[in-house]
Amino acid sequence: MAARLAMARTLRRLAAARPQRALAGARLSSTRAGGAPMDFPCIDRLETRQRDLALGGPEPTYEKVVTGYSVYAHDAPFACDHGGVLPRFDIAYETWGTLNAAKSNAILVHTGLSGSSHAHSHERNPNPGWWEKFIGPGRALDTDKFFVMCTNVLGGCYGSTGPGSVDPRTGARYATTFPLLTVNDMVRAQFRLLDALGIERLHASVGASMGGMQSLCAAALHPTRVGRVVSISACARSHPYSIALRFAQRQALMADPNFNRGFYYEHTPPHVGMKLARAVATVTYRSGPEWEQRFGRRRRLPEQPPALCPDFLVETYVDHASERFCLQYDANSLLYVSKAMDMFDVSRSVSDRLQRSREASAGSGAASAPAAVCMHESEQPAGEASRAESAAEIRADLVAGVRGA
Query: Residue 150 pairs with which residues in a beta bridge?
Result: 94, 109
Count how many residues are written for the chain: 405
DSSP 255: T
Cβ within 8 Å of residue 117, ≥6 positions away: 66, 69, 92, 93, 94, 111, 150, 151, 152, 158, 159
Question: Predicted confidence band at 315 (pLDDT cuts at 50, 70, 90)?
Answer: very high
Predicted confidence (pLDDT) at residue 26 exceeds the cutoff of 60: no
Distances (CA, A) of 20 to 25, 178, 299: 9, 42, 30
| pLDDT score at 361 | 73
Given a cut of 70, is residue 377 above it in pLDDT? Answer: no
pLDDT interval class at 29 (50, 70, 90): very low
* pLDDT tier, 313 (very low <50, low <70, confident <90, very high otherwise): very high
In three state form, how does the secondary structure of 81-115 look? Answer: CCCCEECCEEEEEEEECCCCCCCCCEEEEECCCCC
Cα–Cα distance for residue pair 231/245, rounded to 1 Å = 21
Query: Of residues 278 and 29, which shows the higher confidence score?
Result: 278
Q: Above pLDDT 70, what percent of the chain?
A: 83
Q: How far apart are CA 112 and CA 279, in angstroms?
A: 17
For residue 297, CA distances in Å to 33, 135, 269, 279, 300 come to: 32, 36, 34, 18, 10
Q: Answer whether residue 370 shows pLDDT above 90.
A: no
Task: Report whether pLDDT(384) > 60.
Answer: no
Q: Which helix (H) or strand (E) holds 204?
A: strand 204-208
More confident residue, 398 or 263: 263
242-290: pLDDT as tens digits: 999 999 999 999 999 999 999 999 999 999 999 999 999 999 999 999 9
74 pLDDT more than 60: yes
Mean pLDDT across the chain: 86
Between helices 183-197 and 210-221, what is the axis angle to 10°?
A: 60
Q: Report the range out of 54-63, 157-166, 355-364 with the highest average pLDDT.
A: 157-166
Q: Residue 268 and residue 331: Cα distance in Å, rounded?
A: 12
**Which residue did the predictor score with more confidence, 58 or 360?**
360
Q: Is the pLDDT of residue 6 over 60?
A: no
**Residue partners of 32: CB distance under 8 A and separation at least 6:** none
pLDDT at 66: 74
Confidence of residue 220 (pLDDT cuts 50, 70, 90): very high
CA pair distance 93, 75, nearest whole angstrom? 17
Tell me the DSSP string of 148-180.
EEEEPPTT-SSSS--TTSB-TTTSSB-GGGSPP
What is the pLDDT at residue 7?
Answer: 52
pLDDT (tens digit per residue) in 326-366: 889 999 999 999 999 999 999 988 888 888 888 887 766 54
**Higher pLDDT among residues 273 and 401, named by residue:** 273
Q: Label residue 173 by pLDDT band (50, 70, 90).
A: very high
pLDDT at 228 over 70: yes
pLDDT at residue 364 in the model: 62
Nearest residue to 61 via CA among 328, 340, 366: 328
